[in-house]
Structure 1
Amino acid sequence: MVNNIVYIPPVKDCSYIDIDANMAVHINNAFTNKNVFRISDSLKEEELPLLTYDFKSKKWLTGRYIGKLFFNYNNQEYCFEVIPRFGNAAVMQLLEEIFNIKLAHSKSKSNLENKVHNELIKKLISIIWVKQLSKANVHGLPKNIVKRKHKGQTVKGRINIRKSVLPLYNENLLVSNSIEKQIDPIIISILHKAHKILAKDYFLSQNMLTDGVKEVINSAAGYKNKTITKNQYQSIKYGSMYANYKAIVDFSWQIIQRKNNNISQEQSKDTNDALFLDMAEIWESYLMTILRKKYSIGGWRVYSSKFNIYRNKDFSRGLIPDIILEKDNKVVVLDAKYKRMTTNYRDYDREDFFQIHTYGAFMQSQNKKVLGLGLIYPLLENFDQPQLERNFSKTLFGDSSSESWFKVDGIKLTESIEELRIQKEAFLSRFQTNLSMYYLA
């Protein structure tokens, strides 16, 4: 019989912890990557454990996920919690930038300590869903054009002369065709199902709904039993008027998928509840968002893409740079790294350096002019000017004739809204200096 929950002291992400080896192994066995809520379906997923063992330090190390795992171990229920090393408010601010919404900062610190199973993250997901849907519903629900055929003594739309000949002669009836607009059944079904899950499992209450969201929910009442397949979801077409619905539909699909993934795990004897956010995904989405906002209006395409290399070979692979800025066949390639960066030599990961330089070589093989490459980290402290200079090379590989730069840079994450804004603008200013110098060259 399981007794009261034992709360293991919270640990920060990407940090060393002292924990019994058997307990650590059990935590990894109780955790699955299906417990991670993805804020986007466009970023690559990786199968990673909650804890890894660092043989050099002989300690266990937390990864990039934040959240809570409730599990049973030796007839006792435990809670293992990973908290953000930069603070809850910093995470809130990154999510605000990504989704272009405002979250309640006054509650962000205290809510994380609530003992209810994963209440903070679940409420956060609900709030994001409501605010995104409210913004998307500016022009009403997305509608499709549907052609109707009418047979009768009256005409609806245009008469179909060819098909009216026999009915008119035999039955004294006319055949006419009309065009109508109807609410997209796939979109409204996805939104309805997501709302149902949020209301049941994510602490979404009626008083959290805006009038616009209530209107959508009421309109969805007739679609509550419709089952949606992955193919139907992927085949959704968004007209220009309703393009802003794509983000909320994608977000709703992630909610539905997590519910489906949890069905099998609910039968587990080891895991009672688990929900995590991937800070690496949030960091990458944040960088993509601020760069896209700044440079899209200047004609830059800011994107991520998968490039398949060595096709039809046994050693075929896929290259997936996190962020590419492209204009006039000139590119900058960046990799977002949610790791510790203190400018200590050990913080510079050998594999990361090889990876980003491989991306650069590939883009050159595609006849792109590579302006620069960069690894971008979240920082606990500022890079001072000497550190910035030591982390920037005017040419690839240092002493070379390359016309591409390479940099390691980052943004200091802070719980202060104003300070984070200053840090973000300082990073963008440095990036613009590098970009202008080499783009105009």
Structure 2
Amino acid sequence: MENNIIYIPPVKDCSIVDIEANMAVHINCCFTNQNVFRISNTVKAEELPLLTYDYKFNKWRTGRYIGKLYFKYEGKKYCFEVIPRFGNTAIIHLLEEIFNIKLAQSQSSNKLKSNVQNELIKKLISIIWVKQLSKANVHGLPKNKIKREYKSLSVKGRIDVRKSILPLFNESLIVSNRIEKQVDPIIIAILSKAYKILCKHYFLSQNMLTESAKEVINSTTSFNSSTLTENQYQHIKYGSMYAIYKSIVDFSWQIIKRKKNNIIQEENKETNDALFLDMAEIWENYLMTILKKRYAIDGWKVYSQKFNIYKQQKYKRGLIPDIIIEKDNNVVVFDAKYKNMSSHRNDYDRSDFFQIHTYGSFLESQNKKIIGLGLLYPLHERFDEDVLKNNFSNTLFGESVNKSWFKVDGIQLTESLEDLVIQKEAFLSRFQKNLS
């Protein structure tokens, strides 16, 4: 399939792209949001196109997705690739923080240059899956309780008097029940199916597996994964000891769902392969992760929650602040925005400001004390100390009667891992001062 493919020069996410209008429309027709691999269930999937038309510049613009789309157009094969505007190192660092793992950065960076279909993203997904599975297998395979019935001369567990009357009279046997633990067949079947898909389609090889991962995989061979359903997945129950398995099971189900979506899309002769990551989802999960790591130990609850408003009206809606930080009824609310933010006047989006202030007003109506509100962006290098100071207001709306602060802030993402860590710590330090 790699033969005779025309590779359109890669373009960065959230950037202007010079592309012919008919091809841009065709790319959007080939792309669906089912081509986006979701790393979590926390961020709502939105039906967004791969390209939008920017009427201000009279150009097409890429959105928040990164990845590759292989498609056919006017009888020829093409590859359209969107790369991260902040570089590979930044994306790998964000994923490492989210999943608390270590990825091989040099190898991953080199793979970006490969023309194999979506090799980088697929290998990253495989590595994340292996690391997550290894972390989950702390207490062994996940088990659940089942009730077994025995008919024998001896008692195992509790005697079932009612069921024992007839066997005792006819067969001299006693019926007894005992609660036992068995390996959860649905969880293991999901892990088994995801593993097979990763080996076949995501470049997962045996030398990438840890000993802990091998232990789980070797135990899945006897489980049937061909009849798994969404209902079975949704009704999995995790005991406290095996709650750590939820994240890897959710991740595995995303892999299985994408495989099902691919089978449907293969019927479309215009599209050959497509796989993308949602940078808005990664950015939000990253911010949530680093804030939890820093403030959960001090008793702060860091979470996101949906609030239903106007419940009895036809225009009922849901408010979903991205990040709420709360302690003793004191609240800070952040909204994570993966958009261009270079301190230019046009970068400050009007709707974003209205949205975050609406969240603050609602939580205040719920008798929460609002310490501050903020919009968090991945920042460009031109964001210096003076710009940051000008982006902070001691009061909401700039009015002296309100004691809550408002800020536009974020983290400067760079190609240098060392600089990126410094920028992350600088952001947390600024927020600590606001919190104090």
Residue type matched to 1:221 in 2?
A: T
- 1:142-193: per-residue Cα shift (whole Å, max 9, x none)? 1011111100123323444454333222211111222211001111111111
Shift in Å, 1:383: 3.0
> Is contact 2:190-2:225 (8 Å) kept?
no
For structure 2, the 5+ residue unaligned runs are: none
Aligned to 1:246, the other structure's residue is in SS state helix
| More deviation, 50-59/205-214 | 205-214
> Is contact 2:151-2:173 (8 Å) kept?
yes
> Is contact 1:70-1:77 (8 Å) kept?
yes
C-alpha RMSD of matched pairs (Å) = 1.5
Q: Percent identity?
A: 72
> Is contact 2:323-2:335 (8 Å) kept?
yes
Shift in Å, 1:283: 0.3
Partner of 2:316 in structure 1? 316
Shift in Å, 1:380: 2.2
Partner of 1:389 in structure 2? 389
Partner of 1:439 in structure 2? none
> Aligned equivalents of 2:111 and 2:99: distance in 1?
21
Partner of 1:366 in structure 2? 366
> Aligned equivalents of 1:73 and 1:2: distance in 2?
15
- 1:392-414: per-residue Cα shift (whole Å, max 9, x none)? 00111112411211000010112
Shift in Å, 1:387: 1.2
* Equivalences, count: 436
**Cα pair distance change 1:186/1:225, threshold 3 Å:** closer
> Aligned equivalents of 2:135 and 2:90: distance in 1?
23
Moved over 4 A (4+): none
Partner of 2:38 in structure 1? 38
> Aligned equivalents of 2:3 and 2:235: distance in 1?
48
Partner of 1:5 in structure 2? 5
Partner of 1:216 in structure 2? 216
Aligned to 1:297, the other structure's residue is in SS state helix
| More deviation, 7-16/362-371 | 362-371
Partner of 2:335 in structure 1? 335
> Aligned equivalents of 1:75 and 1:28: distance in 2?
17
Residue type matched to 1:179 in 2?
A: I
> Aligned equivalents of 1:211 and 1:3: distance in 2?
38
> Is contact 1:333-1:359 (8 Å) kept?
yes
Partner of 2:66 in structure 1? 66
Partner of 1:246 in structure 2? 246
| More deviation, 327-336/278-287 | 327-336
> Aligned equivalents of 2:370 and 2:356: distance in 1?
12
Partner of 2:166 in structure 1? 166
Partner of 1:414 in structure 2? 414
Q: TM-score when scaled to structure 1?
A: 0.96
Aligned to 1:180, the other structure's residue is in SS state strand
- 1:318-348: per-residue Cα shift (whole Å, max 9, x none)? 1111111111112111011111111110110
Aligned to 1:139, the other structure's residue is in SS state coil
Aligned to 1:397, the other structure's residue is in SS state helix
> Aligned equivalents of 1:358 and 1:283: distance in 2?
22
Is 1:185 the counterpart of 2:185? The answer is yes
Q: TM-score when scaled to structure 2?
A: 0.97
> Aligned equivalents of 1:2 and 1:94: distance in 2?
31
> Is contact 2:133-2:248 (8 Å) kept?
yes
Partner of 1:117 in structure 2? 117
For structure 1, the 5+ residue unaligned runs are: 437-441
> Aligned equivalents of 2:177 and 2:372: distance in 1?
58
Shift in Å, 1:297: 1.4
- 1:203-233: per-residue Cα shift (whole Å, max 9, x none)? 1112211222122122111223452322322
> Is contact 2:2-2:116 (8 Å) kept?
no
> Aligned equivalents of 1:301 and 1:229: distance in 2?
34
Aligned to 1:222, the other structure's residue is in SS state coil
Aligned to 1:221, the other structure's residue is in SS state coil
Residue type matched to 1:126 in 2?
A: S
> Is contact 1:145-1:182 (8 Å) kept?
yes
Residue type matched to 1:68 in 2?
A: K
Aligned to 2:343, the other structure's residue is in SS state coil
Shift in Å, 1:374: 0.4
Partner of 1:278 in structure 2? 278
> Is contact 1:3-1:76 (8 Å) kept?
no
